[in-house]
Each structure stands twice: as C-alpha cells, then as structure tokens.
C-alpha cells in the first residue's frame, strides 16, 4: 500500500439518510484520527441498497486507501454489507471458524445470564452464526462489547453501526495495524479571524502563500452568523509545524498590507 495512504469512511444505513438516526461516526472518527496525528480524506453515506453498497466497496478496494465501513454487518434482512464486500471482490463467503466460536460463546453467555439452557441447534441460534459469515480470507476485529467480531479484508475494515461497539473496534484497528503511520505533533493549523473582507479579495494572497510554500494548504472558512464574532472569515494555513510558521507569517503580513481588520489567532494541533 502507499506509504501514507488516505483514510476514508463509509457509513451504511437507511436510518441515517432518513433522519431516524443522527450520524455520530463521522465526528468521532475524525477525533480518533486526530488523536493519532491522522486525517480523514473522505467520507461517504450509503443506504441499505446492495447495489450501491457494492459499488462503494468496489471503489474502496480499488483505491488503496485505509477505509472503515460502519453498519450492515448483522444478520437481519436489511444487513447487506458482508455480502456486498464479497461481491465487490468477486469471492465467496464462508463461516469464519473463530467468529463461529465467539458467537457461540456469546450465545452461551446470554443463556447463562437469562437462566436458560443454551440450545445450539435452535433455529434462531443457528441463524445468529450468519454474523460470522465473511468474505474468504477475512481477519477478525475483536468486539469488546459483546464478542461478535467485525472483519477486515485487506485495508478495508468492517464494524457494526452501534457506536459503543464500532469506536473501540476502530481504535483497535488503528493501534494494532497502523501505529507506524501515526504522526502526533506533525500537523498543525494556524489561522486568524478576518473581519469585513471578501474571499475574492483574499484569494490572490491565498494563492501566493500556497505557491511560495508548497508544503502547506491554505483554508478559508467564512461565517455569516457567528454568535460572538459575527460575520468573519477564519483564514489560515495547515501542515507540518516547520512549514506552517513561515507560511502563516506571509499570510499575516499580506493581510496587514491589505489593511484587513484582524481578530484573534487560532492554533489547532
């Protein structure tokens, strides 16, 4: 895979697109990545439509990116992600033996908690084993909440839609597979609040900063109704600290030359 692959997120579920549930995965994954000096390059929402899920996963597998996919790996009729992953790769599904062991262990735990007898051949228990049917060659992602694992195929990682399960599973994947890519302290954003200026007026300065400092990116975040700052632009640069400081210096001096009214500075790790 590339030395510094992009990281993507696919969020599966009609309940997100219909508004029945509010997505919490996107901000949390951004937070988990930022704590490790990483960034999310892209995200995609897709409903419970097998064709669309398959297309999304086919693109993910072809991208060379690290991708997390949340939702749709259960065993109800509206869960299609496992099947779509296999279809996207053109491979078969199979019951993963370790997943089977963990699912059976979970069913025994539940029976014990309920004071009932575990019946492995009962139809509903047999059906639950479908949660361990993954594309051939998949590896498991441990689930600390209820033992029902997620799975990885190459650098695409599939976790449940439930945040209480998904988030620690994503952290596990990051920490066990991609620790060598962590860049804590290697990225910073530095910006200043600009009052009363139009982006069009600032664009030539922004282009100059990126041209003279190719290692950084310039960003402009306008706001028209901020509760305390009112109408303004959060204008800054982001990248490695050593590159950001001189680029920000050029940006700041350029704003002063334009006579811009400046507010507070912001630094974000």
Instruction: Give 95's contacts (C-beta < 8 A, 6+ positions apart).
Output: 129, 132, 133
DSSP the chain: --SS--EEEEEE-HHHHTTSS---HHHHHHHHHHTTT----EEEEE-S-HHHHHHHHHHHHHHT-EEEEES--SSSTT--HHHHHHHHHT--EEE-HHHHHHHHHHHHHHHHHHT----TTSHHHHHHGGGGEEETT-EEE--TTTS--EEEETTEEEE-S-HHHHHHHHHHHHHHHSGGG--TTS-EEEEEEEES--HHHHHHHHHHHHHH-TT-EEEEEEEEEETTTEEEEEEEEEE-HHHHHHHHHHHHHHHHHTT-EEEEEEEE-
Q: What is the pLDDT along the chain (269 residues), one digit of tens a residue?
A: 556 899 999 999 999 999 999 999 999 999 999 888 899 999 999 999 999 999 999 999 999 999 999 999 999 999 999 999 999 999 999 999 999 999 999 999 999 999 999 999 999 999 999 999 999 999 999 999 999 999 999 999 999 999 999 999 999 999 999 998 887 656 789 999 999 888 999 999 999 999 999 989 999 999 998 888 899 999 999 988 889 999 999 999 999 999 999 999 998 87
pLDDT at 185: 59
Report in angstroms the alpha-carbon separations of 219 from 12, 138, 197. 30, 40, 15
pLDDT at 11: 98
pLDDT at 181: 87
pLDDT at 186: 67
Dmax over CA atoms of the chain, in Å, equals: 79
Contact yes or no for 103/129 (Cβ under 8 A)? yes
Q: What is the pLDDT of residues 68-125, one digit of tens each?
A: 999 999 999 999 999 999 999 999 999 999 999 999 999 999 999 999 999 999 999 9
Domains of the chain (ranges, CATH numbers)? 7-181 (3.40.980.10), 188-268 (3.30.70.600)
Report in angstroms the alpha-carbon separations of 7 from 29, 154, 169, 203. 10, 14, 16, 29
pLDDT at 35: 87
pTM of the model: 0.83
């Amino acid at each position: 895979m590339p030395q510094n692959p992009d990281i993507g997120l696919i969020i599966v579920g009609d309940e997100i697109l219909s508004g029945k549930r509010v997505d919490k995965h996107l901000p949390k994954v951004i937070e988990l990545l930022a704590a490790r000096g990483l960034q999310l390059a892209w995200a995609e929402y897709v409903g419970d439509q097998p064709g669309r899920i398959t297309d999304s996963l086919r693109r993910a597998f072809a991208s060379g990116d690290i991708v997390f996919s949340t939702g749709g790996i259960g065993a109800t009729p509206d869960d299609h992600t496992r099947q779509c992953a296999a279809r996207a790769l053109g491979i078969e599904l199979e019951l993963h033996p370790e997943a089977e062991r963990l699912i059976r262990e979970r069913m025994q735990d539940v029976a014990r908690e309920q004071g009932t007898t575990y019946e492995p051949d009962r139809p509903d228990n047999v059906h639950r084993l479908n949660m361990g049917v993954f594309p051939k060659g998949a590896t498991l992602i441990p689930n600390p909440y209820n033992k029902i694992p997620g799975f990885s195929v190459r650098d695409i990682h599939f976790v449940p839609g439930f945040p209480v399960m998904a988030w620690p599973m994503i952290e596990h994947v990051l920490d066990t597979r991609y620790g060598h890519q962590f860049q804590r302290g290697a990225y910073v954003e530095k910006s200043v609040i600009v009052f009363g200026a139009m982006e069009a007026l600032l664009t030539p300065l922004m282009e100059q900063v990126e041209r003279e400092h190719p290692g950084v990116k310039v960003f402009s975040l306008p706001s028209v109704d901020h509760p305390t700052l009112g109408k303004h632009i959060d204008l800054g640069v982001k990248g490695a600290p050593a590159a950001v400081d001189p680029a920000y210096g050029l940006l700041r001096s350029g704003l002063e030359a334009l006579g811009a009214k400046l507010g507070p500075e912001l630094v974000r790790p």
